[in-house]
Amino acid sequence: MVLMMTMSVVLISGLAVFAYMLATYALPFALALWAGRLALETGAGWIGAPLMPLVAGVASYYVLAILYAPRSCAGSSP
């Protein structure tokens, strides 16, 4: 019984880590693919189309990295 409870806590923790990794890495990649496809369909051409997803992917990665960053406790008094 205790083993099953421990395994469930470990598996739920693993799913939380997986969700965090998915939001950190896969979401910017998907947004970059969407931006590239949008650029190509709206007539950006074969040279301009790769630039837009690169910018969109990098920007979304850094925005999500800032949003998911742990808050610092520096400067707060106990």
Q: Which of 22-26, 48-52, 53-57, 66-70 has the lowest mean pLDDT?
A: 66-70
In a domain, 16, yes or no: no
In a domain, 76, yes or no: no
In a domain, 5, yes or no: no
Contacts 24+ apart (CB under 8 A), 60-67: 60/27, 60/28, 60/31, 60/32, 61/24, 61/25, 61/28, 64/23, 64/24, 64/27, 64/28, 65/24
* Number of domain units in the chain: 1
In a domain, 39, yes or no: yes
Range of the domain at 51: 21-71
Sole residue written with tokens 């099953």? 4
Structure tokens at 13: 């923790």
The tens digit of pLDDT for each residue in 30-45 reads: 999 999 899 989 988 8
